[in-house]
Amino acid sequence: MTTPPDTDPAPGHARALLRAATRHSGPHCAALCLVSITATGAGLLLPALLGRTLDLLLAHAPANRWVLYCAGLVLLLAGLDAAQTVLTGTVDARTTAWLRRRLTRHVLGVGPRAAERFGSGDLVARLVGTAAQAGTTPAARAALPAGLAGPVGGVVALALVDWRLAAVFLTGAPVLTLLLRTVARDTADCAAHYQRVQGRIAAALAETVDGFRTVRAAGTADRETRRILRPLPELSGAGHRMWRVQGRAAGQAVAVAPLLQLGVVAVAGVLLTRHRLSVGEVLAASRYAVLATGVGVLVGHLAGLARARAAAARLGEVFAEPVTAYGARRLPTGPGLLELRGVTARRGGRTVLDGVDLVVPGGTTLAVVGRSGAGKSLLAALAGRLADPDAGEVLLDGVPLRDLTHEELRHSVAYAFARPALLGTTVEETIGLGLLCPSPARVREAARTARADDFVRRLPDGYATPVADAPRSGGEAQRLGLARAFAHGGRLLILDDALSSLDTVTEHHITRALLGDGDGDGPHGTRLLVAHRAATAARADAVAWLDGGRVRALGRHEELWGTAEYRAVFGEETASRAAGPAPSASTGPGSAPDSWASADPASPEGARP
Considering the domain architecture, whether residues 345 and 219 belong to the same structural domain is answered as no
Q: What is the CATH number of the domain that holds 154?
A: 1.20.1560.10
Considering the domain architecture, whether residues 522 and 461 belong to the same structural domain is answered as yes
Asked if residue 490 has pLDDT above 70, the reply is yes
3-state secondary structure of 404: strand
How many other C-beta atoms can be found within 10 angstroms of the C-beta atom of residue 525? 19
Residue 255's pLDDT band, with cuts at 50, 70 and 90, is: low
Number of helices and strands in the chain (H, E): 25, 11
Domain that residue 182 falls in:
5-319
What distance in Å separates the CA atoms of residue 347 and residue 375, rounded to the nearest whole number?
10
- Give the pLDDT confidence score for residue 524 in this predicted structure: 65
CA angle 23, 24, 30 (to 5 degrees): 60
Domain stops at, among 288, 319, 350: 319
Residue 13's pLDDT band, with cuts at 50, 70 and 90, is: confident
Please report the DSSP string for 589-602 in residue order. TT---TT-EE-BTT
Q: Is residue 607 part of a domain?
A: no
Q: Is residue 333 part of a domain?
A: no
Q: Is residue 609 part of a domain?
A: no
- Give the pLDDT confidence score for residue 580 in this predicted structure: 47
Report percent pLDDT > 70 for the chain: 85
Asked if residue 45 has pLDDT above 50, the reply is yes
Considering the domain architecture, whether residues 102 and 249 belong to the same structural domain is answered as yes
Q: Which residues pair with 368 in a beta bridge?
A: 530, 544
How many other C-beta atoms can be found within 10 angstroms of the C-beta atom of residue 30? 11
Considering the domain architecture, whether residues 294 and 172 belong to the same structural domain is answered as yes
Residues 92-133 have pLDDT tens digits of 999 999 999 999 999 988 888 888 888 888 888 888 888 998
Asked if residue 193 has pLDDT above 50, the reply is yes
How many other C-beta atoms can be found within 10 angstroms of the C-beta atom of residue 594? 8
Please report the DSSP string for 172-222 in residue order. THHHHHHHHHHHHHHHHHHHHHHHHHHHHHHHHHHHHHHTHHHHHHHT-HH
Residue 233's pLDDT band, with cuts at 50, 70 and 90, is: confident
- Give the pLDDT confidence score for residue 9 in this predicted structure: 64
More confidently predicted of 257 and 147? 147
Nearest Cα neighbor of 581 from 554, 561, 555 is 561
What distance in Å separates the CA atoms of residue 598 and residue 609, rounded to the nearest whole number?
10
Domain stops at, among 319, 354, 386: 319
- Give the pLDDT confidence score for residue 181 in this predicted structure: 66
**Range scoring the smallest mean pLDDT among 50-59, 199-208, 294-303, 531-540:** 294-303
- Give the pLDDT confidence score for residue 239 in this predicted structure: 79
Considering the domain architecture, whether residues 263 and 342 belong to the same structural domain is answered as no
Mean pLDDT of all residues in 189-195: 76
Residues 311-354 have pLDDT tens digits of 888 899 899 888 889 999 999 998 899 999 999 999 878 899 99
Asked if residue 574 has pLDDT above 50, the reply is no
Domain stops at, among 261, 286, 319: 319
- Give the pLDDT confidence score for residue 2 in this predicted structure: 39
Considering the domain architecture, whether residues 155 and 231 belong to the same structural domain is answered as yes
**Range scoring the smallest mean pLDDT among 136-140, 308-312, 401-405:** 308-312
Considering the domain architecture, whether residues 406 and 552 belong to the same structural domain is answered as yes
Asked if residue 606 has pLDDT above 60, the reply is no
- Give the pLDDT confidence score for residue 61 in this predicted structure: 85
Number of domains forming the structure of the chain: 2
Q: Is residue 44 part of a domain?
A: yes
What distance in Å separates the CA atoms of residue 489 and residue 439, rounded to the nearest whole number?
13
Report percent pLDDT > 90 for the chain: 31
| Order of strands, sheet of 413-417, starting from the edge strand that comes earlier in the sequence | 413-417, 492-496, 526-530, 365-369, 542-547, 550-555
Q: Is residue 608 part of a domain?
A: no
Mean pLDDT of all residues in 186-209: 77
Q: How many CA atoms lie within 13 A of 73 on its CB side?
A: 19
Q: Is residue 270 part of a domain?
A: yes
How far CA 315 is from CA of 9, 121, 132, in Å, comes to 12, 14, 11
Considering the domain architecture, whether residues 227 and 280 belong to the same structural domain is answered as yes
Mean pLDDT of all residues in 267-271: 89
Residues 46-84 have pLDDT tens digits of 999 999 999 888 888 888 899 999 999 999 999 999 999
Residue 599's pLDDT band, with cuts at 50, 70 and 90, is: very low
Mean pLDDT of all residues in 564-590: 55
- Give the pLDDT confidence score for residue 587 in this predicted structure: 34
- Contact yes or no for 168/162 (Cβ under 8 A): no
CA angle 73, 75, 79 (to 5 degrees): 115
Q: What sign has the CA pseudo-torsion 583, 585, 590, 595?
A: negative
More confidently predicted of 413 and 291? 413
Considering the domain architecture, whether residues 469 and 524 belong to the same structural domain is answered as yes
Q: Which residues pair with 545 in a beta bridge?
A: 369, 553
Asked if residue 590 has pLDDT above 70, the reply is no
Residue 546's pLDDT band, with cuts at 50, 70 and 90, is: very high
Query: Where is mean pLDDT largest: 30-44, 215-229, 485-499, 581-595?
Result: 30-44
Asked if residue 555 has pLDDT above 90, the reply is yes
3-state secondary structure of 579: coil
Residue 184's pLDDT band, with cuts at 50, 70 and 90, is: low
Q: Which residues pair with 417 in a beta bridge?
A: 496
Q: Is residue 605 part of a domain?
A: no
Residues 61-71 have pLDDT tens digits of 888 899 999 99
Considering the domain architecture, whether residues 385 and 261 belong to the same structural domain is answered as no
Give the global pTM: 0.74
Q: Is residue 78 part of a domain?
A: yes
More confidently predicted of 510 and 215? 510
Q: What is the CATH number of the domain that holds 526?
A: 3.40.50.300
Average of per-residue pLDDT values in the chain = 82
Considering the domain architecture, whether residues 95 and 212 belong to the same structural domain is answered as yes
**Range scoring the smallest mean pLDDT among 13-17, 87-91, 193-197:** 193-197
- Contact yes or no for 35/84 (Cβ under 8 A): yes
CB contact set of 398 (below 8 Å; sequence gap of 6+): 332, 334, 337, 339
How many other C-beta atoms can be found within 10 angstroms of the C-beta atom of residue 457? 12
Residues 379-431 have pLDDT tens digits of 999 999 998 999 999 999 999 999 999 999 988 999 988 888 888 889 999 89
Considering the domain architecture, whether residues 247 and 354 belong to the same structural domain is answered as no
